């Protein structure tokens, strides 16, 4: 009945956007109740709203602080990225920055996050990597729930993915394993580029010559069953691109047919300030109310979900909302004048990020043809071909630090297992390469700056604060020096400009790394998963907030450690299973 009434109102309003409300004031508040409210329409939140509203019996409200993204040409064209062809680009980004990083000699790190439907998936670099089998098998150990293991998650991986041919119909046989991909899922993936670069060809030759050490594997997304002896893996880079166009959580999960569903309301440009308990007297807190405000200001309004409230505000947004609500370390909250409703001290703790060192090789002048931008755009428009269909890298090199390394005499291996590489080097820009440490020991945290929920939190990524991380990067540089020293690079690589740990003093090497490191924009954690009943951690294996009824978290903040992956695919995989867990608990 409520559903019928709702539909009528929309029909009268004659909105051309179906069920998408651009402003809080457009939502006919008194007339609607929702079974589920999803807070944050990003990567995780879009999956949840889409999957829950597949069941016609449930009414779903999705609340997103930013605007729609699906209509932005600049965000759709992989070769353009944020900026060109995008209206007022800053509206699509939460432009956070860290506090001064001790391990970066006091430099601050930029922490951009997507703001708008699709969240970070609508503005990211589109790299599609799932991580390793051990990354997931360890989730199963951490939560005590075998459903999070790699093998158990396979159906959800397939359900999230739709593999597509490359731009221009190039024959990509032999560059991926058809057996490990999904073809009926939502997010389009591909090997989007239209041909091989000089660097690609030399890498292939190198892989033949240095087969034992740097083999080219068929597919980097097969869970990486790296053999015991083989510590390196090289694979063609896969992207969340289909038909030369970005596939984001918004385009993949909230396309027109989904937006037309009578049981899904999408409320844009509306920021969640806090969550609140429904009844405060019962034994267990029951938190299903959100307090929201229009992103352009005004009065706060509350909505209460009949069944569950799902937080999907991302690694910064979700812990921030919880802390603003008085859920976190009681002592710390009360010292800021925030009334505590639940003492959950691990909120905002344990944030982990991929730190990356800048490495520079000298090369001969490359045969680069300058791209005629007008022609490139014409090709993209006409039949989705040409240089704008892809991003930067074609191949990725992963590496494990050998277990015989002296590093492991001093520190326990932080990786989740032998299928997890410690290091990653996206290839094809040796002149300005970035070597990422995928398994850092360093941890950061997020806390409130004040009791005003509209002020950004204080974010400390803790980058390069643990000595293992610097030592591992040092090993990594040596591995990469070996990679670029084979005969396949003759006439291409002419020297290594460093920083070279075999030339510089320790102090000089470390200074170069700390002064020039970047991050890969992959922070996770802050609402970490742990076993049910365990004191530490924030959510259990079913992603329910500990000590609370009615509230779950589905986004990258629940990852207990950063995976050996660029983090969007893990969020899609997590969210697909999370949707199933939620539906199962209400459908019976």
Give ∠ CA 78-480-126 in degrees, rounded to 5.
15
Rounded to an integer, what distance in angstroms lies between the CA atom of residue 446 and that of residue 306? 31
Among 34, 43, 137, 267, binds ligand FAD (CB under 6 A): 43
Report yes or no: 558 and 539 within 8 Å, Cβ to Cβ.
yes
Residues annotated within a binding site for FAD: 124-127, 272
Q: Which stretch binds ligand FAD (CB under 6 A): 42-50, 163-171, 185-193, 486-494?
A: 42-50
The yes or no reply on residue 142 touching ligand FAD (CB under 6 A) is no
Q: Which stretch binds ligand NAG (CB under 6 A): 17-25, 141-149, 276-284, 378-386?
A: 378-386
| 181 is annotated as an active-site residue | no
Pick from ligand FAD, ligand NAG, none: which does 312 bind, CB < 5 to 8 A by kind? ligand FAD
Give ∠ CA 570-573-578 in degrees, rounded to 5.
120
Q: Which long-range contacts (CB under 8 A, 24 or more apart) does 88-92 make?
A: 91/66, 91/67, 91/115, 91/116, 92/66, 92/67, 92/116, 92/122, 92/123
The yes or no reply on residue 114 touching ligand FAD (CB under 6 A) is yes
| 394 is annotated as an active-site residue | no
The yes or no reply on residue 169 touching ligand NAG (CB under 6 A) is yes
Q: Which stretch binds ligand NAG (CB under 6 A): 91-99, 168-176, 312-320, 413-421?
A: 168-176
Pick from ligand NAG, ligand FAD, none: which does 321 bind, CB < 5 to 8 A by kind? ligand FAD
Instruction: Quickly count: other Cβ atoms within 10 Å of residue 480's Cβ.
Output: 21
| Mask for 79-118, x = binds ligand NAG (CB under 6 A) | ----------------------------------------
Among 19, 113, 130, 274, binds ligand FAD (CB under 6 A): 113
Q: Which stretch binds ligand NAG (CB under 6 A): 8-16, 325-333, 475-483, 542-550?
A: 325-333
Rounded to an integer, what distance in angstroms lies between the CA atom of residue 433 and that of residue 430? 5
Among 243, 451, 485, 516, binds ligand NAG (CB under 6 A): 243
Q: Using CB atoms within 10 A of its CB, is residue 466 exposed (0-12), middle (13-18) or buried (19+)?
A: middle
Q: Which stretch binds ligand FAD (CB under 6 A): 41-49, 260-268, 356-364, 416-424?
A: 41-49
Residue 314: asked if its preceding bond is cis (omega within 30°), the reply is no
The yes or no reply on residue 54 touching ligand NAG (CB under 6 A) is no
Among 24, 34, 44, 242, binds ligand FAD (CB under 6 A): 44
Nearest CA among 521, 527, 519 for reference residue 559 = 527
Q: Which stretch binds ligand FAD (CB under 6 A): 17-25, 64-72, 142-150, 538-546?
A: 64-72
CA–CA distances in Å: residue 356 to residues 104, 124, 237, 239: 11, 17, 18, 20
Give ∠ CA 569-575-578 in degrees, rounded to 5.
145
The yes or no reply on residue 544 touching ligand NAG (CB under 6 A) is no
Nearest CA among 269, 278, 310 for reference residue 20 = 269
* Longest CA pairwise span in the chain (Å): 75
Quick one: which H or E segment has residue 187?
A: strand 187-189
The yes or no reply on residue 331 touching ligand NAG (CB under 6 A) is yes
Q: Is 40 left (phi over 0), alpha (psi -120 to 50) or beta?
A: left
Q: Using CB atoms within 10 A of its CB, is residue 141 exposed (0-12), middle (13-18) or buried (19+)?
A: middle
Cβ at position 262, least distance to ligand NAG in Å? 28
The yes or no reply on residue 340 touching ligand NAG (CB under 6 A) is no
> Which residue is at the shortest CB distance from ligand FAD?
42
Which position among 181, 276, 422, 522 bears the catalytic label? 522
SS3 track for 26-80: HCCHHHCCEEEEEECCCHHHHHHHHHHCCCCCCCEEEECCCCCCCCCHHHHCCCC
The yes or no reply on residue 192 touching ligand FAD (CB under 6 A) is no
Site for ligand NAG in 379-408 (CB under 6 A): 379, 382-385
Give ∠ CA 136-140-143 in degrees, rounded to 5.
125
Residues in the chain: 588
The yes or no reply on residue 519 touching ligand FAD (CB under 6 A) is no
Pick from ligand FAD, ligand NAG, none: which does 295 bind, CB < 5 to 8 A by kind? none
Report yes or no: 77 and 245 within 8 Å, Cβ to Cβ.
yes
Among 79, 192, 244, 313, binds ligand FAD (CB under 6 A): 313
Buried b (16+ CB within 10 A) or exposed e, 497-535: ebbebeeeeeeebbebbbebbbbbbbbbbbbbbbeeeee
Among 366, 449, 454, 455, binds ligand NAG (CB under 6 A): 366
Backbone torsions φ then ψ of 30, nearest 5 degrees = -65, -20
Measured from the CB atom, is 85 or 168 closer to ligand NAG? 168
The yes or no reply on residue 436 touching ligand FAD (CB under 6 A) is no
Measured from the CB atom, is 401 or 556 closer to ligand FAD? 556
Give me the residues that bind ligand NAG (CB under 6 A), please. 168-169, 171, 173-174, 198, 243, 329, 331-332, 345, 364, 366-367, 379, 382-385, 491-492
Give me the residues that bind ligand FAD (CB under 6 A), please. 39-45, 63-66, 112-116, 119-121, 123-127, 271-272, 312-315, 317, 321, 521-522, 555-556, 566-569, 571
Query: Catalytic amino acids?
Result: 522, 566
């Amino acid at each position: 009945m409520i559903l019928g009434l709702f539909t009528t109102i929309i029909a009268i309003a004659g909105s051309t956007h179906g069920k998408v409300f651009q402003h809080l004031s457009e939502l006919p508040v008194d007339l609607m109740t929702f079974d589920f409210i999803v807070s944050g329409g990003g990567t995780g939140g879009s999956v949840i709203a889409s999957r829950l509203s597949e069941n016609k019996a449930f009414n779903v409200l999705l609340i997103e602080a930013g605007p729609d993204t699906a209509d932005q040409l600049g965000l759709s064209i992989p070769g353009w990225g944020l900026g060109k062809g995008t209206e007022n680009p800053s509206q699509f980004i939460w432009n956070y920055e860290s506090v001064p990083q001790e391990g970066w000699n006091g430099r601050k790190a930029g922490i951009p996050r997507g703001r708008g439907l699709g969240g970070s998936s609508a503005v990211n670099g589109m790299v599609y990597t799932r991580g390793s089998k051990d990354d997931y098998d360890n989730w199963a150990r951490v939560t005590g729930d075998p459903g999070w293991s790699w093998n158990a998650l396979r159906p959800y991986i397939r359900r999230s993915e739709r593999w597509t041919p490359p731009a221009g119909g190039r024959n990509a046989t032999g560059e991926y394993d058809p057996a490990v991909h999904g073809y009926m899922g939502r997010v389009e993936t591909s090997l989007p580029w239209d041909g091989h670069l000089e660097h690609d060809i030399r890498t292939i030759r190198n892989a033949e010559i240095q087969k034992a050490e740097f083999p080219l594997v068929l597919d980097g997304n097969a869970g990486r069953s790296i053999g015991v002896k083989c510590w390196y893996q090289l694979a063609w880079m896969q992207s969340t691109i289909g038909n030369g166009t970005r596939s984001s959580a918004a385009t993949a999960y909230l396309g027109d047919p989904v937006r037309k569903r009578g049981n899904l309301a999408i409320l844009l440009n509306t920021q969640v300030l806090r969550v609140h308990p429904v009844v405060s007297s019962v034994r267990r807190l029951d938190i299903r109310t959100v307090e929201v405000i229009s992103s352009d200001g005004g009065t706060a309004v509350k909505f209460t979900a009949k069944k569950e409230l799902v937080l999907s505000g991302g690694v910064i947004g979700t812990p921030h909302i919880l802390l603003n609500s008085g859920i976190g370390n009681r002592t710390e909250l009360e010292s800021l004048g925030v009334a505590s409703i639940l003492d959950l001290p691990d909120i905002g703790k344990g944030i982990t990020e991929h730190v990356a060192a800048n490495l520079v090789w000298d090369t001969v002048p490359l045969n680069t043809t300058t791209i005629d931008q007008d022609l490139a755009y014409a090709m993209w428009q006409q039949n989705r071909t040409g240089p704008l269909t892809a991003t930067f890298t074609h191949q990725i090199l992963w590496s494990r630090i050998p277990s015989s390394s002296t590093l492991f005499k001093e520190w326990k291996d932080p990786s989740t297992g032998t299928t997890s590489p410690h290091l990653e080097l996206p290839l094809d820009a040796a002149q300005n390469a970035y070597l990422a440490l995928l398994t850092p020991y360093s941890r950061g945290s997020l806390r409130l700056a004040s009791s005003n929920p509209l002020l950004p939190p204080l974010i400390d990524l803790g980058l390069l604060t643990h000595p293992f991380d610097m030592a591992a990067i040092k090993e990594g540089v040596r591995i990469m020096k070996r990679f670029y020293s084979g005969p396949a690079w003759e006439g291409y690589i002419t020297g290594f400009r460093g920083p070279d740990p075999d030339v510089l003093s320790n102090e000089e090497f470390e200074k170069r790394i700390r002064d020039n490191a970047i991050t890969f924009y992959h922070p996770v954690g802050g609402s970490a998963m742990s076993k049910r009943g365990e004191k530490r951690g924030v959510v259990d294996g079913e992603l329910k907030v500990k000590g609370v009824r009615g509230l779950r978290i589905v986004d990258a903040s629940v990852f207990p450690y950063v995976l050996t992956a660029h983090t969007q695919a893990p969020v899609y995989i997590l969210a697909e299973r999370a949707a199933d867990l939620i539906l199962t608990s209400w459908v019976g």
